Amino acid sequence: MEELCGLGAAASLRGDAEEPKQGSVLFLGGNEVKSSAVVKYSSAPPQAAFARLQEKTDLKLPPANWLRESAKLGPAGTTILGNNKKSKPFSSFGMAYDFIDSVGNDVDVVSDSENIKKLLKIPYSKSHVSMAVHRIGRTLLLDELDIQELFMRSSQTGDWTWLKEFYQRLIDQKWQRKKKSKEHWYQKAILSKFLYYSINGDGAAQPVPSTSKQHQEGPVSGESDEAGRASWPAPFEMPSSLSEDPGASNQGSVPLEPSYIVGHVASAPKEQNLTTLFNDGENSQGLKNDFVRNILWTFEDIHMLVGSNMPIFGGGRYPAVSLRLRDNNKPINVLTGIDYWLDNLICNVPELVMCFHVNGIVQKYEMIKTEDIPNLENSNFSTKVIKDIAQNILSFLKSNCTKEGHTYWLFKASGSDIVKLYDLTTLCEETEDKYQNPFTMPVAILLYKVACNMMLKKNQNKKHYGTIRTLLLNCLKLLDNGRHPQIIASANYMLSELFQLDEPKKDDSTNFPINGNSDESYSEEEEEMPDSDENGSYSNSSDPPDDNKAVAIIKSVGELSVPEKYKSVHRIRPSCAFPVCHGTEERCRLVLNYVLEGLKSVDSSVKKEGDLPAADPSTPIPLKYEDESTSGGPECLEKQMALFLDKMGSFQKGKHSSQSGMIPGSWQYKMKLQLILKSSKAYYVLSDAAMILQKYGRALRYIKLALQCHDTYCCLCASMLPEVLVFLCQCLTLCGDIQLMLAQNANNRAAYLEEYNYQTKEDQEILHSLHRESRCQVFAWATDLSTDLECQLSVSCKCYEAAYEILLFSNLKNQNPEQRIQVLKRMGNIRNEIGVFYMNQAAAVQTERVVSKNVSTTEQQLWKKSFSCFEEGIQNFESIDDATNAALLLCNTGRLMRICAQAHCATEGDFKREFSPEEALYYNKAIDYYLKALRSLGKRDVHPAVWDSVNWELSTTYFTMATLQQDYAPLSRKAQEQIEKEVSEAMMKSLKYCDVDTVSARQPLCQYRAATIHHRLASMYHSCLRNQVGDEHLRKQHRVLADLHYSKAVRLFQLLKDAPCEFLRVQLERVAFAEFQMASQNSSAGKLKTLFGALDIMAKTKGAFQLIRKELVAESEQKSKDKSSAENMSPNDSSAGLNKEEVLKLLSIFESRMSFLLLQSIKLLTSTKKKIGGINEEEAVLKTNKQVYSLLLRATANKSMTLLERIEVILTLLEQLARNTEASNGGIQ
């Protein structure tokens, strides 16, 4: 067997799980038992070869090197050779602290090898068994509970009297201390001398001079009854010096809580530094791992971390052997055989060398292989039975030792067959203070350490969250706030860290596996598992009187040898699954609850300063709700911002102050910083969640609390970490968002105010803890709920500006590009909101201005404010290459320019209204901004909706400008031709940006706009034609253009189903245009052709009349339905879609023009019928025209006809005309 090389090297590795240095599997007794051992740590020197002693060597004589250290042995030599004393009562805790990774997870049992052997020998041995059992996760810690030693101590100190009374009353009334025999000490002495002889090498049998004979008589030096006894620590108490002042000396008391420092845990999750609780100071409590070697022993399916001090020798043909000294007169019994076999298995030693002596005189040596030990004469035993005993005992303990933090006592009286398990913690609580149990603190600290260790790896595996939480909750149950504030604060902080606040939003139920760790789960609830009879017999009323105190009983040790008598019930229900939070709020509330407990612990341990007023948790802290009348408006806001940024700058320089007198660097200081930061994050998440639910009052209250926590953090912290500054930016950004939403939802202000002023008791207590350190007023300007819209928008803007300033002066801009983009985007957005707010105010002032013709200074001020906001917003968006939003703001600036233009239009007074140069200037500015917006976007694909919107606004601006120039022509400044040219250009540009082809919600509007433009241009050219004299070429050009635009207008109006009146008007204008042309014609044929063309135009109006008829019919049907409720109808309800006055006016014109055209056609046809061929066709046309004309005259003469009836007549006449139009067109060339 190859040991670790040397004591020094090994000692430096203590506490770290090393790479396995050795490991093998022994298949013993025909594959009956599987065993493997890995040395995790060894402080033994390199193995020394043992020297075979000569026959007749007298072991009663001490060798020359006896009890002296030597290079071969190393400083621990005396321990290795001849240490047969009992292990200390906390030996398993010492090992657990060193191999914290294994505890609670992979290992089933942690114990001294002597305890393991004692347990496995229970069915074979009559001797008593007394062990303390503790559960940590799935691991059991076993320690000898020396009742004799305990009660000796009890007589001297008065501790444990309750257990002594319980023991004497129910178990052993005549208890008295048994003294060890002289034979016992004699055997120990010769074993020690034998081992020293064996290692002496060359001078193996050199006895020392006779002067040393004193050694033979009494007990071995250093092995006396008192010295060899286990050292029990006193019941743990918080040293007075420590509770008062963490810096004070620990002398004169048990150093229970040495300098435990938690690093910046919350500040950066990647740098979690949850330092373990103990430094070397804990060794004085007997919590030291003082085994020569720690071995991870796997016996069948049981994993054990075992401490062993067995001397191992090597060299020559034997790489590793164990040495045993036997009295030749006493045969080896089963118990000794099991002892030797288990020792060799645990230490993975393949052979055993036995030296036989008679009365201390060496007789002979014998070598036995480990696998042969179970078959030795007088000591045969079945390895399979030992395996069954091991599995049964483990199952029994795991099934019944279910409560973490409790001390269980496994007890078998000497000579008895009954094994009982008691829960000492419950018995102790019934009688005395829990701190009377000396195991309380080591257990609490081990629970804490295991949780710490798992926390460091928590990001790797979330399935352990439930286990960590249970470990910490059980740790807290054992601790007293007055005595252990530091561990309590740290445990509560770790509990709060388990709940991830910054995880991506998803269904909360998926965050943690509910039964993710069922295999290694254990119960924290105080209820016992129901067991079937085969899993062990339990007490009932017929049992002895003490049985009702026992948790469980094995009625006969023989049961332990029955295979699977006690089944593995220890895989009990997964009650340590992480609690499923049904929402963000519940998760944050749990976090805040743990944070509050941590803060209370920290605050209680800080010296109370005389001048600090005591805070009353039942008195709410006012949230300082202010009306805008007292807050002083935007100017005051500027000052507060300046002060805030100045203070932020001073934080950067490293100033800090604590009102409560906490010492920077103390554990209280570090812990409070992290608890405050955690609470700030929890409030931030709560605020964000409330924001999503549109509970803006609640969101503002939470972000106020988050910023108050942050303010306190800033007051305490010497240097601000970049992550903390980034988080502050997020808080201020969220605060800006909330203020903006409050501004946009002003109608619910009363509800928001109520939400804002509500406070839970928990929030009040956290605030009281914050107020111990700072006034929490640095961010008051950002978190007050104002009732003034402008103030809310300004505060929102200032929040974003403050966030951006922090990014700038802390040089975080480049490290956090995403954060910078978010802040700049919001700044651009809020500036747009404020710009629109001022623009709307200016428009409102403009509509109210009736009397005055001039623009007021108020309006101009509002324009300037609005313009500067838009300009800053555009810069913000351009700095982050956000073309779309920049385009929207340019578009809004264009709208502002149009409002300015409207303000400059001269009101109609004594003189005729004309289109003013100021209007032209502002409309042209508006056009520039719209064109800039289009350039910013580049092409439609970037953002089709914005592109279409900008195009529409640009088209509207050109159209408005052209319409105003056409309707209010500035003839006093420009010639008619110049105006017509400008109008024509503007209209054509408006058409260019008016997209009639793309299918969208805006398409009908675009078609209507385009039709209107064509109609206006046609009317303008028609008008020019009428008024112009002279230039024939120009007249011809105008005639062609008028005709073109009329036909385009007709085509577009025909596409629209809701503009029959506009269509009619265009057609009537075309008829008038035809009449105008006819007046200048001389030939009858030409006139007739024009006439028939005009009648054809009239026939094509049939569709428009059908639409009008349809609307009138629908309206009359609706009226008949509503007759019963006629009184409820308002007079304007008649027809929202149809202007009847307009229809009547157009109908009258239509009838008169139709009458005129028909009359002219009859006259012309009559006078020319003899000159033209195709008389039959002509006569038919003439006949029809006469019929239509007479019907039309009768209809117009009848004044009693309704509008609907008149339209019906027109439709009938148009039908007749349409039939003849083709014939007339064909016959008359």
Ranked by mean pLDDT, the top range of 451-465, 943-957, 1153-1167 is 943-957
In the prediction, which pLDDT does 957 show? 94
Q: Where are the alpha helices (DSSP H) in 325-435?
A: 334-346, 383-400, 424-431
In the prediction, which pLDDT does 297 show? 92
- Within 13 Å, how many C-alpha atoms sit on residue 588's CB side? 21
Rounded average pLDDT over 482-503: 84
Give me the DSSP letters along 85-96: SPPPTTHHHHHH
Backbone angles phi, psi at 101, to 5 degrees: -60, -35
**Burial profile 126-143: b = 16 or more Cβ within 10 angstroms, e = fewer:** eeebbbbbbbbbbbbbbb
Local confidence band at 686 (pLDDT 50, 70, 90 cut-offs)? very high
Does the pLDDT value for residue 99 go beyond 70?
Answer: yes
DSSP state of 177: P
Does the pLDDT value for residue 929 go beyond 90?
Answer: yes
Does the pLDDT value for residue 1191 go beyond 70?
Answer: yes
Q: What percent of the chain has pLDDT over 90?
A: 19
CA-CA distance, 45 to 901, in Å (whole number)? Answer: 99
Q: Which of 602, 605, 589 is nearest to 679 (CA)?
A: 589
Q: Which of 151, 195, 211 is nearest to 59 (CA)?
A: 195
Both tokens of residue 680?
């700030």
CA-CA distance, 688 to 700, in Å (whole number)? Answer: 10
In the prediction, which pLDDT does 521 show? 37
User: What SS3 state is found at 216?
Assistant: helix
In the prediction, which pLDDT does 229 show? 39
In the prediction, which pLDDT does 1081 show? 79
User: Which of the pair, 1125 or 39, is modelled with greater confidence?
Assistant: 39
In the prediction, which pLDDT does 219 show? 37
CA-CA distance, 923 to 963, in Å (whole number)? Answer: 12
Local confidence band at 897 (pLDDT 50, 70, 90 cut-offs)? very high
Rounded average pLDDT over 1162-1179: 70
Q: How far is CA 775 from the centre of its chain?
A: 29
User: 382 near 373, Cβ under 8 Å?
Assistant: no
**Burial profile 88-116: b = 16 or more Cβ within 10 angstroms, e = fewer:** bbbbbbbbbbbbbbbbbbebbbbbbbbbb
From 466-470, 802-806, 1030-1034, the region with the lowest mean pLDDT:
1030-1034
User: Which of the pair, 743 or 52, is modelled with greater confidence?
Assistant: 743
- Percentages helix, strand, coil for the chain (3-state, rounded to 5) are 55, 5, 35
Does the pLDDT value for residue 741 go beyond 90?
Answer: yes
pLDDT digits (tens, 9 = 90+) for 117-146: 999 988 888 888 889 999 888 899 998 888
Helix 944-967 × helix 976-992 angle, to 10°:
160
In the prediction, which pLDDT does 525 show? 37
Sequence-separated (6 or more) residues with CB below 8 Å from residue 162: 427, 428, 431, 432, 436
Local confidence band at 718 (pLDDT 50, 70, 90 cut-offs)? confident
Sequence-separated (6 or more) residues with CB below 8 Å from residue 597: 488, 492
Burial zone of 1039 (CB within 10 Å; 0-12 exposed, 13-18 middle, 19+ buried)? middle
Both tokens of residue 1080?
């200048």
> ∠ CA(1103), CA(1105), CA(1109), 5° rounding?
115
Please count the other Cβ atoms lying within 10 Å of the Cβ belonging to residue 168.
Answer: 13
User: Which of the pair, 890 or 1182, is modelled with greater confidence?
Assistant: 890
Rounded average pLDDT over 913-938: 91
Rounded average pLDDT over 788-817: 85
The DSSP bridge pattern shows strands 109-112 and 302-308 to be parallel
In the prediction, which pLDDT does 305 show? 92
Does the pLDDT value for residue 776 go beyond 80?
Answer: no
From 166-175, 537-546, 1143-1152, the region with the lowest mean pLDDT:
537-546
In the prediction, which pLDDT does 898 show? 92
- Within 13 Å, how many C-alpha atoms sit on residue 654's CB side? 1
In the prediction, which pLDDT does 696 show? 93
Q: What percent of the chain has pLDDT over 70?
A: 73
Rounded average pLDDT over 401-411: 87
In the prediction, which pLDDT does 277 show? 37
Does the pLDDT value for residue 187 go beyond 70?
Answer: yes
Sequence-separated (6 or more) residues with CB below 8 Å from residue 255: 239, 281, 282, 284, 285
Rounded average pLDDT over 1147-1151: 87
pLDDT digits (tens, 9 = 90+) for 560-577: 877 777 776 544 434 556
Distances (CA, A) of 912 to 909, 975, 1131: 7, 17, 36
From 15-19, 151-155, 599-603, 727-731, the region with the lowest mean pLDDT:
15-19
Does the pLDDT value for residue 225 go beyond 60?
Answer: no
Does the pLDDT value for residue 700 go beyond 90?
Answer: yes
CA-CA distance, 145 to 161, in Å (whole number)? Answer: 15
Q: Where are the alpha helices (DSSP H) in 993-1083?
A: 1003-1027, 1032-1055, 1060-1079
> Given strand 33-42, what is the order of strands in its sheet?
25-28, 33-42, 293-299, 302-308, 109-112, 139-144, 129-136, 407-412, 419-423, 550-554
pLDDT digits (tens, 9 = 90+) for 321-360: 888 898 888 888 889 999 999 999 999 898 998 999 998 8
Across the chain, mean pLDDT equals 76
pLDDT digits (tens, 9 = 90+) for 30-50: 446 888 888 888 887 777 777
In the prediction, which pLDDT does 304 show? 92
Using left for φ > 0, alpha for ψ between -120 and 50, and beta otherwise, residue 1028 falls in beta
Q: Which residue has the tokens 């001073």?
A: 650
pLDDT digits (tens, 9 = 90+) for 951-985: 999 999 999 999 998 888 888 888 888 888 899 99
pLDDT digits (tens, 9 = 90+) for 47-97: 777 788 888 888 888 888 787 766 555 444 444 454 444 556 678 888 888
Bridge partners of 58?
361
Bridge partners of 321?
313, 351
In the prediction, which pLDDT does 892 show? 95
The DSSP bridge pattern shows strands 419-423 and 312-313 to be unpaired
pLDDT digits (tens, 9 = 90+) for 857-868: 888 899 999 999
From 92-101, 584-593, 700-709, 828-837, the region with the lowest mean pLDDT:
92-101
Q: Which of 587, 589, 588 is nearest to 761 (CA)?
A: 589
pLDDT digits (tens, 9 = 90+) for 414-445: 888 889 898 888 877 766 665 667 778 888 88
Does the pLDDT value for residue 544 go beyond 50?
Answer: no
Local confidence band at 512 (pLDDT 50, 70, 90 cut-offs)? very low
Rounded average pLDDT over 682-701: 94
Give me the DSSP letters along 10-35: HHHTTTS-PPP----EEEETTTTEEE
In the prediction, which pLDDT does 242 show? 33
pLDDT digits (tens, 9 = 90+) for 167-177: 777 666 555 66
